[in-house]
Amino acid sequence: MRRTRTRASFGAHLVAVVLILGTVLPFLWMLVSSFKTPSELNGVDKRLLPSGLFLGNYTKLLDTNFLTYFGNSVIVAAATTIVALLLAILAGYGFARFTFIGNRGMLLVVVAAQMFPAVMLAIPLFITVKNLGLLDSLVGLVVVYVSFALPFCIWLMRNYFLAVPVETEEAALIDGCTRFRALWRVVLPPALPGVMAAAVFTIIQVWEEFLYANTFIDTDSKRTLSVGLNSLIGEFTTDWGRLLAAGVLVMIPVLLIFGYLQRYVTQIAGGGVKG
């Protein structure tokens, strides 16, 4: 039995190496190529690695609105995450601790809301956001993004709260704490991994979102990263150098956030699966 395990683990390591290469190589190629000179990129000057650290692609990038797109995405992601988490903690707690009329039905709504086709909502949302006077503003995007992040965050928080023993908050209630205070002081700390997972999920969603940001924002200086970068791809299809430099810069915060929060990422999956 031991022998089969050793053999299996060699094959497994081989598969793992192939998978890692398949995952990492495209990113690595982008990084390396972003330091290539135009003639190296065009294939006029054939070489695998750049001849030196050519920074021209990065300096050229600064002529565009790229840093503004970047800042806009950071602002929208931060605001969305904070608001969505506050609402989701309350609602998740409500679902986890109370049995009430329509409990199951509302939970079904929460699950279903995650699956509404984004394109379907684009037309009426465009009109709603316009009526609220929030067209072409980052606030409008935050309002929409909060609602889109909510269902899954509620679901996740509910599952985490279910795992917190009721006894802890009973003790706090007996000590004269209100239920609301007990939630923040006693119930939330053990469920903090859930909060982090919900935050990761929300940030990833905002960083990713394209359809609404593309439809609701007109002004170039208010574009978010997805839309901004996509417009650059459209504009400069042949200027790969500048685009790859942008790609590297987009990658950096993703890796930083991800490196810090990666252990919560698997819990996002767990939040849906557990039970």
Partner 1 sequence: MSTITSARPETATPGATAARRRRLRARRLEPFAYIAPAFVALAVIIGYPVFNAIGTSFLNASLLRPGQDTFAGLANYSNLFASPTFWTVTARTLVWAGAALVVQVGLGLLIATTLNKRLLARGAIRTTLIVPWVVPTVLVALIWRFLLDPVSGPINSVLRSSGLLDDPPVWLADPTWALPVLVLISAWKWTPFTAVILLAGMQQIPPEQYEAAMVDGASPWQRFFHVTIPSIRTSLALVTLTTISGAINNFNGIWMFTRGGPVGATEILTTYAYRTAFMEFDFGKASAISVVIFVLMMVLAVTYFYVVEGRKGEKR
Q: Which of residues 206-225 bind partner 1 (CB under 8 A)?
A: 207-211, 215, 225
Q: Which is nearer to partner 1, 181 or 274 (CB)?
A: 274
The DSSP result for 223-244, as a single string, is: --HHHHHHHHHHHTTT-HHHHH
In three-state secondary structure terms, 82 is helix
Give min distance, CB of 78 to partner 1, in A. Answer: 16
Stretch 38-77 residues interacting with partner 1 (CB under 8 A): 41-43
- Residue with tokens 């208010």, as numbered in its chain: 222
Q: Three-class SS of residue 57?
A: helix
169 binding partner 1? (CB under 8 A): yes
CB of 140 to partner 1, least distance (A): 10
Using the rule CB under 8 A, give the single segment among 55-63, 74-82, 190-198, 204-212 that binds partner 1: 204-212
CA distances from 176 to 94, 182, 192, 253 (A): 20, 10, 24, 44
The minimum distance between CB 132 and partner 1, in angstroms, equals 9
Q: Of 1 and 53, which has the nearer Cβ to partner 1?
A: 1
Angstrom distance (rounded) from CA 149 to CA 128: 18
Whole-number Å distance between alpha carbons of 191 and 48: 49
- Is residue 16 a contact point for partner 1 (CB under 8 A)? yes
Count the Cβ atoms, other than its own, within 10 Å of residue 253. Answer: 16
Among 112, 139, 192, 256, binds partner 1 (CB under 8 A): 112
3-class DSSP state for residue 218? coil
Do the beta carbons of residue 225 and residue 250 sit within 8 Å?
yes
Q: Which of 47, 53, 120, 176 binds partner 1 (CB under 8 A)?
A: 120
Q: Which of 3, 22, 175, 218 binds partner 1 (CB under 8 A)?
A: 22
Q: Is 170 in the site for partner 1 (CB under 8 A)?
A: yes
Helix (H) or strand (E) holding 183: none
Tell me: does residue 260 bind partner 1 (CB under 8 A).
no
The residue count for binding partner 1 (CB under 8 A) is: 109
Shortest gap between Cβ of 260 and partner 1 (angstroms)?
12
Q: Does 139 bind partner 1 (CB under 8 A)?
A: no
Q: Any contact of residue 252 with partner 1 (CB under 8 A)?
A: no
| Cβ neighbour number for residue 148 with a 10 Å cutoff | 20
Task: Tell me which H or E stretch contains 142.
Answer: helix 138-163
> Cα–Cα distance between 64 and 62 in angstroms, integer?
5
Distance CA 126, CA 123 (A): 5
Per CB under 8 A, the list member of 96, 188, 191, 217 interacting with partner 1 is: 96
Q: Which is nearer to partner 1, 3 or 165 (CB)?
A: 165
User: 173 to 202, contacts with partner 1 by CB under 8 A?
Assistant: 173-174, 179
Smallest separation, CB 55 to partner 1 (Å): 19
